[in-house]
Amino acid sequence: TRTSRPQRILKAVQRKATVGDPQSVITAIDHFCRHREWAMNVGDEKGSILDSVVNEVSPVTVLELGTYCGYSTVRIARLLPPGACVITLEFNPDYAAIARQVIKWSGLEDKVQLVEGASGDWIPWMKEHFGVQAFDLVFLDHWKERYLPDTKLLEECGLIQKGTVLLADNVICPGTPDYLEYVRNSPHYNSQYYRSHLEYTKAEDGLEKSVFLGY
Ligand code: SAM
Ligand code: MG
């Protein structure tokens, strides 16, 4: 039977990466996706911007929307200090199963809480279920029409506080016009575009970093 792309990505990790070495997992996935099969990971070029934002924020609690194979989860988790963690949401059970193995292979399972389900269903339960006060960093990388409604939902649920940083991927390609218009025009956010390229291509894409300033 034919394997899926995520299964082939996992195979590449198992063949090329060292157990317990997150950087080798990242390198194996980037190599596979650049030379064999394109996949929707944030990738190495935008990934280094993601790394610098994680380092700058130095978050204790991170929320990631859209796990896919766990590539960006591993990128984020490897930079977290002891005691910090990333909660990552994925509604496709087949992708979640692959991501669990990729995260395990990286040795980062203690820093990652992978939640299987839809963002709109889970966000209202975050405080109760995980005991989080608010997130220091939110990485938005799920379906693009969900960026804006989920941001408003996070605000309503009190999960965004003064200083919370939203980092949104693919704001140009495929694009998130309603979200960009919101964060760029709201007096409650200080928003900045980081120009880059769509993962593993030369097409323009970028990340939007928006700092919540409080009400
Ligand atoms: N962040 C990943 C990375 O860079 O390695 C890539 C994530 S991929 C672009 C988007 C993922 O979000 C898909 O796996 C999709 O199944 C998932 N997704 C889309 N909408 C979602 C939602 N509302 N709730 C949870 N997961 C969602
Ligand atoms: Mg993306």
pLDDT tens profile 128-179: 999 999 999 999 999 999 999 999 999 999 999 999 999 999 999 999 999 9
Report the separation in Å between the CA atom of 116 and the middle of ligand 1, taken as the mean of its atom positions: 11
Nearest CA to ligand 1 atom 16: 92
Q: What is the ipTM of this complex?
A: 0.99
User: Active-site residue 144, yes or no?
Assistant: yes
| pLDDT, mean over the chain | 97
Residues 6 or more apart whose Cβ sits within 8 Å of residue 185: none
In the prediction, which pLDDT does 153 show? 98
Please give all residues whose beta carbon lies within 6 A of any atom in ligand 1, as ranges: 40-42, 66, 68, 71-72, 89-92, 95, 118-119, 141-143, 146
Within 10 angstroms of residue 70's Cβ, the number of other Cβ atoms is: 33
Catalytic residue among 170, 205, 208, 209: 170
**In the predicted structure, residue 215 carries a pLDDT above the cut 90:** no
Average pLDDT over residues 47-66: 98
- Counting other chains too, the contacts that 81-85 makes at CB distance below 8 Å and 24 or more residues apart are 84/59, 84/60, 84/111, 85/60, 85/61, 85/111, 85/112, 85/113
What is the Cα–Cα distance from 139 to 72, expressed in whole angstroms? 9
**pLDDT tens per residue across span 16-55:** 999 999 999 999 999 999 999 999 999 999 999 999 999 9
What is the Cα–Cα distance from 5 to 27, expressed in whole angstroms? 17
State phi, psi for 48 to the nearest 5 degrees. Answer: -75, -30
In the prediction, which pLDDT does 35 show? 97
User: Active-site residue 169, yes or no?
Assistant: yes
**pLDDT tens per residue across span 182-212:** 999 999 999 999 999 999 999 999 999 999 9
Q: 13, 138, 125, 153: which is closest to 65 by C-alpha?
A: 138
Q: Looking at this protein, which amino acid is placed at residue 21? A: D
Report the separation in Å between the CA atom of 46 and the middle of ligand 2, taken as the mean of its atom positions: 9
What is the Cα–Cα distance from 49 to 60, expressed in whole angstroms? 19
In the prediction, which pLDDT does 45 show? 97
**In the predicted structure, residue 1 carries a pLDDT above the cut 80:** no
Point out which residues pair with 112 in neighbouring strands.
86
Q: Best of 90, 122, 179 to mutate for ligand 1, by most ligand atoms within 8 A of CB?
A: 90
DSSP state of 78: T
Nearest CA to ligand 1 atom 24: 118
For residue 152 the two structure tokens come to 């408003």
Alpha-carbon separation of residue 64 from 19, 72, 105, 113 (angstroms): 23, 9, 19, 10
Average pLDDT over residues 94-114: 98
What atom of ligand 1 comes closest to residue 199's alpha carbon? Answer: 4
